[in-house]
């Protein structure tokens, strides 16, 4: 896979996974009903209490920012906002100037501001708000984790990967328990910075964490390893990871990549097997792919399988019935010794042919089945079409079929034509000419003997 495609996949998977969580974490920080109570239960530090006055301001701001985010009974309508998200920002900024706010209240005001700024798509101010949370005094561990997570996701989305990694490290240190998803984002951040070795180290840790925690290993976790090993030209490990990946996530791109890697290592049989496996699973649907597979099978002396792939391609209307493709089918049937099918295919191909070569191949197939009368006609058509690679061969084998039909005179002429066209044919052609002369004499003597016998 090309580098740009690899980058695109790794980045998009990481960012798509990360960004939706920002809203969720920010929202959970400012959902002041059940969520604040849950946070109080989870905290491991002693924090100042939130006063009723501050709670009301935050509740009012939340309604302005997103009424749908306010906790309520099932079926209960969302509250009517008293202002817009911009009004919420002004209210919260004014509240920050009030005296007597404790660290926890300040942190929650900044958390609500982060939610407002994110809603307004003001990423720089969103980042600043989350950083302000961390500058407050004692805050709950849950709020600190949520803020750190939001920051590394935001910095990642802004392509500030070093800062994203800094906050990931802080998040991981505070969390304590390894997290495969976060470690994956860290791995892709290093990848974007061009630090492939550190990225690979983190990518391998992602797999190790998932295995230790008995979690399903996600497709993009393995694929990032493939991309990184590929960047480092470590073909053996690319193959190893791809072989694992396709067991759990069998996709066309992985089978094709694996086939290419096998070829790079000179393992052509394994490469063809991977290519064929992609076909069996229905991944090869383009004409070029089917024709290429048929050609590879022919090269690996699997002509019958090649013929069946082409036949199915023709039947499905995917492979065009042109001279080139039909000749390939005819060749496959010929090599597979399916001569009746080969003859039909060569005859079809001859309809498209502008030279005599296809008629010549048809004639040879017919002669192989002892259908010499038809073969002679096909040889003659080949000579009429002309533009033959070796016209002496055509004349010589036409003479053989004519000889089988006991057409002695025309056979002799064909052998003499072959000699004129290629002196290398002279020795063998003259042997047949002498044989024909002897056979004619023998038949003439036999005829005379029979006439005499009848006369007596």
List, for residues 95-144, the tens digit of each pLDDT value: 999 999 999 999 999 999 999 999 999 999 999 999 999 999 889 999 99
> Does the pLDDT value for residue 20 go beyond 60?
no
Using a pLDDT cut of 70, give the percent of the chain over it: 89
> Does the pLDDT value for residue 216 go beyond 50?
yes
> Does the pLDDT value for residue 157 go beyond 50?
yes
pLDDT value at position 294?
Answer: 97
166 occurs within a structural domain:
yes
pLDDT value at position 76?
Answer: 78
393 occurs within a structural domain:
no
pLDDT value at position 188?
Answer: 97
pLDDT value at position 351?
Answer: 92
Domain of 52 in residue numbering reads as 1-176
pLDDT in tens, 181-192: 999 999 999 999
pLDDT in tens, 161-211: 999 999 999 999 999 999 999 999 999 999 999 999 999 999 999 999 999
Name the more confident of 96 and 3.
Answer: 96
pLDDT value at position 426?
Answer: 93
Angstrom distances, CA of residue 353 to CA of 330, 339, 375: 13, 20, 17
Sequence-separated contacts (24+) of 341-349 with Cβ below 8 Å: 341/307, 343/369, 343/371, 348/321, 349/323
Taking residues 272-299, report their average pLDDT: 96
Contacting residues for 13 by C-beta, under 8 A, at least 6 apart: 188, 220
> Does the pLDDT value for residue 218 go beyond 80?
yes
Which CATH number do you get for residue 157?
1.25.40
Cβ atoms of 61 and 25 closer than 8 Å: no
> Does the pLDDT value for residue 225 go beyond 80?
yes
183 occurs within a structural domain:
no
> Does the pLDDT value for residue 4 go beyond 60?
no
Confidence of residue 16 (pLDDT cuts 50, 70, 90): very low
39 occurs within a structural domain:
yes
Against a cut of 0.85, is the pTM above it? no
Confidence of residue 82 (pLDDT cuts 50, 70, 90): confident
> Does the pLDDT value for residue 86 go beyond 60?
yes
155 occurs within a structural domain:
yes
79 occurs within a structural domain:
yes
211 occurs within a structural domain:
no
pLDDT value at position 9?
Answer: 40
Confidence of residue 369 (pLDDT cuts 50, 70, 90): very high
> Does the pLDDT value for residue 28 go beyond 70?
no
> Does the pLDDT value for residue 448 go beyond 80?
no
Number of domains in the chain: 1
Instruction: Give the torsion sign (CA, 362, 363, 364, 370).
Output: positive
Cβ atoms of 144 and 128 closer than 8 Å: no
Confidence of residue 454 (pLDDT cuts 50, 70, 90): low
Name the more confident of 452 and 261.
Answer: 261
Q: What is the mean pLDDT of the chain?
A: 89
57 occurs within a structural domain:
yes
């Amino acid at each position: 896979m090309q580098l740009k495609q690899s980058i695109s996949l790794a980045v998009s998977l990481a960012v798509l996974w990360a960004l939706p969580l920002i809203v969720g974490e920010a929202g959970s920080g400012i959902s002041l009903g059940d969520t604040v109570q849950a946070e109080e239960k989870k905290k491991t530090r002693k924090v100042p209490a939130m006063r009723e006055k501050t709670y009301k301001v935050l509740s009012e701001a939340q309604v302005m920012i997103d009424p749908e985010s306010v906790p309520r009974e099932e079926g209960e309508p969302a509250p009517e906002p008293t202002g817009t998200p911009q009004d919420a920002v002004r209210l919260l900024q004014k509240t920050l100037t009030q005296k007597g706010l404790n660290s926890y209240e300040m942190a929650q005001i900044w958390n609500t501001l982060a939610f407002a700024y994110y809603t307004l798509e003001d990423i720089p101010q969103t980042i600043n708000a989350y950083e302000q949370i961390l500058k407050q005094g004692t805050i709950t561990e849950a709020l600190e984790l949520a803020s750190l997570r939001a920051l590394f996701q935001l910095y990642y989305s802004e392509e500030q990967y070093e800062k994203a990694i800094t906050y990931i490290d802080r998040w991981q240190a505070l969390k304590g328990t390894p997290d495969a998803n976060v470690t994956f984002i860290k791995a892709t951040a290093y990848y974007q910075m061009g630090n492939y070795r550190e990225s690979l180290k983190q990518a391998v840790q992602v797999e190790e964490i998932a295995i230790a925690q008995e979690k399903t290993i996600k497709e993009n976790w393995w694929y990032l390893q493939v991309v990184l090993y590929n960047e480092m030209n470590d073909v053996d490990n690319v193959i190893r990871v791809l072989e694992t990946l396709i067991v759990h996530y069998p996709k066309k791109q992985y089978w094709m990549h694996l086939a290419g890697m096998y070829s790079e290592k000179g393992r052509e049989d394994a490469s063809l097997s991977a290519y064929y496996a992609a076909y069996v699973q229905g991944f090869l649907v383009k004409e070029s792919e089917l024709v290429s597979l048929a050609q590879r099978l022919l090269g690996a002396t699997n002509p019958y399988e090649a013929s069946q792939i082409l036949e199915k391609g023709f039947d499905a209307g995917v492979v065009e019935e042109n001279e080139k493709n039909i000749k390939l089918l005819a060749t496959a049937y010929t090599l597979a010794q399916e001569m009746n099918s080969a003859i039909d295919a060569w005859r079809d191909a001859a309809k498209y042919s502008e030279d005599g070569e296809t008629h010549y191949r048809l004639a040879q197939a017919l002669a192989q089945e002892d259908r010499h009368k038809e073969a002679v006609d096909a040889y003659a058509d080949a000579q009429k079409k002309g533009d033959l690679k070796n016209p002496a061969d055509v004349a010589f084998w036409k003479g053989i079929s004519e000889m089988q039909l006991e057409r002695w005179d025309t056979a002799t002429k064909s052998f003499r034509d072959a000699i004129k066209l290629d002196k290398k044919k002279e020795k063998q052609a003259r042997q047949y000419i002498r044989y024909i002369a002897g056979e004619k004499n023998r038949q003439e003597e036999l005829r005379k003997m029979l006439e005499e016998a009848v006369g007596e």
